[in-house]
Amino acid sequence: MAVIAVGYRAPEQSSAAVSAAPVANIADTDKPAVNDVVATNIAASVATAAELAVAPNVTELAISTRVQSQYQNQSTDTSSISKPAIVQLSMASRNISTYTIADGDTVASVAGKFGINENTVRWANNLKESDSIKPGATLDVLPVNGIVYTVKDGDTLQSIADKYKGDASLIATYNDLEINGVTTGLKIIIPNGVLPNEERPGYISPAIHYSTGFVTGVGAWGGNVLSMRIFTGVDANSGGYAPGNCTAYAYYRRAQIGRPVPSQLGNAYTWATQARAFNYVVNSIPEVGAVIQSGNHVGVVEEIYANGDLRITDMNYGYRLYNLAERVIPASTVSNYAFIH
């Protein structure tokens, strides 16, 4: 008979008497040391090799210990308890519960009852910030802060985590996805996830510039040039666009980052209109990786600074073929451009 002992104490449950599923409370005294991670990994390996009945439990503990250790190591503030919560791996703690609204309830009071934030309640129930709730109606309540997401074709754990500001390891652990990963149509919880503005309830896409169905940015190209160089590598994958031109580079760069655009968008001044016809999202909201378009020129957004300025790359700047420029578009003019997502 094999005996496995692991020197690790699980996170303590909160003693708050609420009707929500339990969520682990991380205190500084619960930090797993490196030895805890090693010990639980070894225990999981031994239990699996010996085909013990407790093997799945030990494996889950090992995963949770590793994830918790990673989160704790990311924080240098040892006096704070505002670190991301690591959940207990029980079915109860993963379930979305249903709550019947009582007289006097508000979104804030319901969120407080279940220990989650207001956005979590609103997003799970498609409620705008201006919406009120009515007694007798029901609300979906998540066990942790975050969002509910239905997996789409082509999604990966990492792409979901990147888009919704989550952690791929935590998403996998929380939803039992370590072995099989995500599948199309699967509904999962993204702990601590955040909805992008364009996916939030009540979002209205800002207008760019429309005229009888035609759309284009109206920004005046300029900005602070950071660097310029001749780059002919674009010819290796220019999508049939004119060699050395801005369109060829934008096609090349989008393919390079895994977000290809069609090869039938025409000259730069028709890119926004054509992209919309191909069901691409086109608006005036910048995003890293988006094509930036105005008039007869396009580029690619490489970075969004904290002050709202954009760092972009584009080709044929100054009407020089193959001239690859890196420059900054000031935040004050960003809304004048169209962005193809």
Q: Give me the CATH number covering residue 151.
A: 3.10.350.10
Q: Is residue 216 domain-shared with residue 168, that is, in the same domain?
A: no
141 within domain boundaries? yes
Say whether both 53 and 97 belong to one domain. Answer: no
Look at residue 296 in the predicted model and tell me its pLDDT: 87
Structure confidence at residue 333 (pLDDT) = 87
**Domain region containing 20:** 12-73
The tokens 């602070």 sit on which residue? Answer: 224
- pLDDT at position 42, please? 78
In a domain, 223, yes or no: yes
- 86 in a domain, yes or no? no
110 & 221 share domain = no
* 256 to 226, 236, 249: CA distances (angstroms): 21, 11, 10
Q: Quick check: is 83 in a domain?
A: no
Sign of CA dihedral 169, 175, 181, 183: negative
> Is 98 in the same domain as 193?
yes
What pLDDT does residue 217 have?
A: 57
Whether residue 287 is found in the same domain as residue 218: yes
Same domain, 222 and 284: yes
- On whether both 262 and 301 belong to a single domain, the answer is yes
Distance, CA of 32 to CA of 34 (rounded, Å): 7
Are residue 41 and residue 150 in the same domain, yes or no?
A: no
Tally of structural domains, the chain = 3
pLDDT values of the chain reduced to their tens digit, one per residue, 341 residues: 555 555 544 444 433 333 443 333 434 444 555 567 677 777 767 777 777 765 655 555 655 565 555 545 544 444 444 444 444 444 445 788 999 999 999 999 999 999 999 999 999 999 988 888 999 999 999 999 999 999 998 899 999 999 999 999 999 999 988 888 899 999 999 999 999 887 888 765 554 444 445 556 555 677 788 999 999 988 888 888 988 999 999 999 999 999 999 988 888 888 998 898 898 999 989 999 999 999 889 999 999 998 889 999 999 877 788 999 999 998 888 888 999 99
Listed residues 167, 199, 231: the one ending a domain: 199
| Sign of the dihedral defined by the CA atoms of residues 151, 72, 19, 130, in that order | negative
Q: At what angle do helices 55-73 and 34-49 cross, to 10 degrees?
A: 160
Last residue of a domain, one of 73, 103, 123: 73
- 155 shares a domain with 53: no
pLDDT at res. 179: 86
Q: Is residue 4 part of a domain?
A: no
Between the alpha carbon of residue 125 and those of residues 122, 144, 174, the distances in Å are 5, 15, 21
Query: Residue 269 corresponds to which amino acid?
Result: Y
Q: Residue 245 sits in a domain of what CATH number? A: 3.90.1720.10
b/e per residue 220-241 (b: at least 16 CB within 10 A): ebebeeeeeeebeebeeebbeb
Residues 215 and 330 in one domain: yes
